Amino acid sequence: MSKVSKNYIAVWGVMLALFNLIVFISPGWGGIEKYTGAFWIAYAITTMAFVLHLAFALIAFKDAGNSKQKLFLNIPIIWISYVGLIITIIVGALCMLNSFLPTWAAGVTMGIVLAVFLLSVVKTKIAIEAVEDVGARVADKTAFIKSLRVDADSLVGKASSPTVRDMCTKVSEAIRYSDPVSNDMTAAVEKQITTKLAEFTDVVKAGDEEKVSSVGSELIDLVDERNKKCKLGK
């Protein structure tokens, strides 16, 4: 268990203890029985909200792991469940203070509050999963060009002459400023680019200026062709 989770449990424990202290030490209304059915229903559901909030928070922390990005995405779950807990405490306190309420009225009221609480968390979780799915698909579609940029940039430092370096720079810039998102239409040309980059790497290492110029130009043309297909696929 992470340090954040342990600290959160400690704070949660203090809040729960304070809640119980206030509930059981505070006096009831004058002449009205405090511990009625309405009181116990409100107390039970409010305590349940405490437990649910802690569970949602710990799940969010565990799901995030050491990823700051995932933790950022999971913050809404913690926040929504916290807001739900506060609202449940407020409504529960009103039901416990007005212990003369019929048991069914307190049960229906607290049940609605708890249902809204749970539905809000579920909807937030669905939204987060949708965002993560989009992010994963975007990362997958941009993986090719990111890898290509790294390989192309590394060739600039391996150039053995100014002529070779100039062409390596042109290739690197063509790839750097190309459309980062691949699609189904770019699959074939991307295979050609991969093959041509491998060939370009070999001639750069060999220092053959003539071949570097011709292969580099062909590679740039393929990158341009990919850009056109990227536009058509949008």
Write the pLDDT tens digit of every residue in 161-178: 888 899 999 999 999 988
Structure tokens at 173: 């810039």
- The domain ranges of the chain are 3-137, 157-232
With 70 as the cut, is the pLDDT of residue 129 above it? yes
Cα distance between residue 219 and residue 174, in whole Å: 9
The vertex-232 CA angle with 229 and 233, nearest 5°, equals 85
pLDDT in tens, 130-159: 888 888 887 778 888 898 899 888 888 888
> For residue 120, what pLDDT is reported?
94
Closest Cα to residue 101, out of 165, 15, 41? 41
Q: Average pLDDT, stretch 12-34?
A: 85
pLDDT band at 78 (very low <50, low <70, confident <90, very high): very high
Give the model's pLDDT for residue 1.
Answer: 72
- For 198-225, the pLDDT digits (tens) are 999 998 888 888 888 999 899 999 999 9
The DSSP call for residue 65 is: T
Question: How many other C-beta atoms are found inside a 10 Å radius of the C-beta of residue 58?
Answer: 18
CA angle 27, 85, 96 (to 5 degrees): 25
Q: What proportion of the chain, given as a percentage, has pLDDT over 90?
A: 47
CA angle 106, 109, 110 (to 5 degrees): 80
pTM: 0.69
CA–centroid distance for 97 within its chain: 41
Question: 189 near 222, Cβ under 8 Å?
Answer: yes
Cα–Cα distances in angstroms (integers) from residue 9 to residues 68, 98, 142, in the given order: 20, 31, 39
- Residue 152 is predicted with a pLDDT of 87
Rounded Cα–Cα distance for residues 129 and 64 (Å): 12
